[in-house]
Structure 1
């Protein structure tokens, strides 16, 4: 009788273990579902460029921002504050800026460290094909995020940037990202909470983002997209640093 009871208990434990193994999510299973939620691999594979118009609310100001990105090649943003337009651009492995708010009225090369930190901005497809991009991902379990059940997925990029993704167990959208990178010799951490997800030409984008950063303690920035174009034709010369 004792041996029979022990055997039944062992079988029950093994069955529980097998059930856990069967239903546990791997990081690739979570990412596959996320990719499907973002529009699917076919759509993301064809994503070559975007053009975004948005408005950022920060420190009681509304700041218009236009952004143009070409996959793995170029990034350019123009931000207008108090009548002055700040330009930041990445062109392959180089970058430049025009910042009249800092007295810079002509293009100035960005430091290598800043270019390295901003290089991820040219990646439009996020976690799609992450292995081929050289990203390392780990699934760190499940958490509760403001009432939403999420998977916590840590990510290490080739440029040294570390990012934590909080992926909804319901929609498989990324609801929040925490990014740690090094700028000017100091580690800067930013948090980006995303919402108002919409599809444009079959690809899903968050149209509202609330961002906080250790570089501006106490200042929350809310970015709202007003228009977004998928795969517009882009003149590559806009990423080139203007000649003096």
Structure 2
């Protein structure tokens, strides 16, 4: 059972994973404004919910993942591994999971660090209106990313979580995100390289991602988006912990 349990921990992290001073303030705001325009502009402000169907290539397996998010309210993922469906969800300040691969088919409460990480994923709009959200951003220079010139913009969330966004100087899409999160009390670094941006209802989204993590050094995991539904009607009960 060791391999399935390790796989579950990694999947939990990956699901969580798939978002300097006054002198830089004007420059970073200009960059973010261009990024927001490239992603869909004010249409981002109308984004209230999303359902994502995807497939992850991990450990030589094709793993289907369905994720449903309601802006700032709820997150639920369903991952099918070896015929078992793993569920993770948060609503407000509470979270829970069902993991049949551990031999327990009942819902159990998620630890506080996992709840915090998944709660951060309920923000569907990233840098859009970042000041109103209480996010802090800094421009930390420019780099070359696989031949693409990028701005390095660090976003710090109110709970202290930091994400480094590598924003293309050409398209103003985010080409890579470097983040640090806590899984089961262990600090894990991740890199998510994003590509194949496509418009869905006027909002651009990366349909291909390649993820590496310190939890599995030397291993690359691919994620392909199969379909995205913008603003679907979502029953809030799906985020509630089953009795």
TM-score by length of 2: 0.87
Give 1:85's aligned residue: 85
Give 2:31's aligned residue: 30
Give 1:215's aligned residue: 215
Alignment of 1:62 onto 2:59: no
Give 1:103's aligned residue: 103
Task: Kindly report which structure 2 residues correspond to 1:37-56, keeping only aligned pairs within 5 A, or say none.
Answer: 37-40=38-41, 42-56=42-56
Q: Kindly name which structure, 1 or 2, has the bigger radius of gyration based on alpha carbons.
A: 1
Q: Distance in 1 between matches of 2:117 and 2:215?
A: 14
The 8 Å contact of residues 189 and 213 in structure 1, kept in 2 or not, is answered as: yes
How many angstroms does 1:158 deviate by? Answer: 1.5
Q: Which moved more, 1:151-160 or 1:202-211?
A: 151-160
How many angstroms does 1:131 deviate by? Answer: 1.0
For 2:52, what is the secondary structure of its paired residue? strand
What are structure 2's unaligned runs of at least 5 residues? Answer: 1-24
Alignment of 1:182 onto 2:182: yes
Residues 6-39 of structure 1 show CA distances to partners (whole Å, capped at 9, x for unaligned) of: xxxxxxxxxxxxxxxxxx9711000000000000
Give 1:6's aligned residue: none
The 8 Å contact of residues 117 and 159 in structure 1, kept in 2 or not, is answered as: no
- The alignment yields a C-alpha RMSD, in angstroms, of 1.3
Q: Distance in 2 between matches of 1:218 and 1:87?
A: 27
TM-score by length of 1: 0.87
Give 1:202's aligned residue: 202
Alignment of 1:166 onto 2:166: yes
Q: Which moved more, 1:207-216 or 1:222-231?
A: 207-216
Q: Distance in 1 between matches of 2:231 and 2:115?
A: 24
How many angstroms does 1:222 deviate by? Answer: 0.6
Q: Distance in 1 between matches of 2:176 and 2:102?
A: 32
The 8 Å contact of residues 160 and 181 in structure 1, kept in 2 or not, is answered as: no
Number of residue equivalences: 219
Residues 107-143 of structure 1 show CA distances to partners (whole Å, capped at 9, x for unaligned) of: 0000112111221110100110111111110001110
How many angstroms does 1:220 deviate by? Answer: 1.5
Give 2:191's aligned residue: 191
Give 1:3's aligned residue: none
Give 2:16's aligned residue: none
Q: Which moved more, 1:181-190 or 1:27-36?
A: 181-190
The 8 Å contact of residues 135 and 157 in structure 1, kept in 2 or not, is answered as: yes
Residues 65-103 of structure 1 show CA distances to partners (whole Å, capped at 9, x for unaligned) of: 001000000000000010001101011111100011122
